[in-house]
Amino acid sequence: MLLRFVLATILVFLPLTFSNGADQYFIQRADSCNSDMGSGGNLKGTAIPFQGKCEGAGLSPKLIKNQGILFRVSTKGSSDRDRSELAATSKPFYLDRPYYVGFEIKVPRDSDVSDDFFYLLQFWQGGNKNPPIAGLRMKRGQSHVASIMVRGPNNPRGNTISTINLQPRKWHHIVLGIQVNSDGTGWMEVWKGHKISSKWQGRIGFSTEPGVNDWYRLKFGIYKKSEPGRQFSTIYKNIKIGDSFRSVSF
């Protein structure tokens, strides 16, 4: 019972407006955000700290009053990949346990269309330079259409299990349920609002490979192939982590 309570209260931050004491949230060392995770762009004042990471044309996460956290990639791409992300490095997701992540996301109308990989949220297991094992990614060539994907050794490009239309100028409430097991299996649920839209089970993650972590972590923001001359942005708010849909829904 104690475990369930702790999981349900891991992280709750960024209400609709920055009032009633919410000014405790701040971005630490925004000017120092770089490829060395935690050097800058860190979110402080939350139940657990989130470390920032920026690469290429990725700018430091920024708090926007009455909105949430803004992630941006500028037009001045000069590297292979661009990144503006926050990662829950101090709160790993352990294998063989269920987790739920609830959040609201908005993609601004002026965010450009990507013709390459573009993650808005990812679950990262690491080891052997493996790509994300699951996440939310924009569809290539689409302005505001995203997909929920899962990945394992047998599907290196990832399988789409749900599609989400991120209509501009509108907040979208999404809940993702996930469990990654030590035997390489697992499941995932996708909730839009208070309705479940997809349930999937099968092979997920790289747990059976040598040198891979026996945990994975949540990262959100922007991680994508560099596309110089184009700018990208997204905004997050009301992020919760728990052990059930009820614990993270609004």
Task: Please state, in angstroms and as integers, the Cα–Cα distance from residue 18 to each residue in 14, 44, 50, 174, following that order.
Answer: 7, 14, 18, 21
Written as six digits, the tokens of 26 are 């701040």
Residue 110 clears pLDDT 50, i.e. is over it: yes
Which pLDDT does position 171 carry in this prediction?
95
Percentage of the chain exceeding pLDDT 90: 76
Using the structure block, give the residue that is written with the tokens 């959100």.
220
pLDDT band at 10 (very low <50, low <70, confident <90, very high): very low
> What does the DSSP assignment read for 31-54?
GG--SSTTSS-EEESSSS-BEEEE
Percentage of the chain exceeding pLDDT 70: 90
Residues 54 and 34: their CA atoms lie apart, in Å, by: 4
Give 161-198 pLDDT, tens digit per residue.
999 999 988 999 999 999 999 999 999 999 998 889 99
SS3 category, 216 = strand
Residue 216 clears pLDDT 90, i.e. is over it: yes
Q: What is the mean pLDDT of the chain?
A: 89
The residue with greater pLDDT, 248 or 2, is 248
Which pLDDT does position 23 carry in this prediction?
55
Residue 235 clears pLDDT 60, i.e. is over it: yes
Residues 229 and 210: their CA atoms lie apart, in Å, by: 40
pLDDT band at 31 (very low <50, low <70, confident <90, very high): very high
Which pLDDT does position 14 carry in this prediction?
44
Written as six digits, the tokens of 219 are 């990262």
Residue 19 clears pLDDT 60, i.e. is over it: no
Which pLDDT does position 155 carry in this prediction?
87
Residue 15 clears pLDDT 80, i.e. is over it: no
Residue 56 clears pLDDT 50, i.e. is over it: yes
DSSP bridge pairs for 160: 149
The residue with greater pLDDT, 87 or 6, is 87
- Residue 249 main-chain phi, psi, to 5 deg: -80, 165
Summarize the confidence of residues 193-219 as an average pLDDT. Answer: 93
* 141 touches 227 (CB < 8 A): no
Residue 8 clears pLDDT 90, i.e. is over it: no
Summarize the confidence of residues 142-149 as an average pLDDT. Answer: 94
pLDDT band at 90 (very low <50, low <70, confident <90, very high): confident
Residue 22 clears pLDDT 60, i.e. is over it: no
pLDDT band at 20 (very low <50, low <70, confident <90, very high): very low
Domains defined along the chain, listed by start = 2-248 (2.60.120.200)
DSSP bridge pairs for 172: 105
DSSP bridge pairs for 220: 86, 121
DSSP bridge pairs for 104: 173, 237
Amino acid letter, residue 149: M
pTM equals 0.90
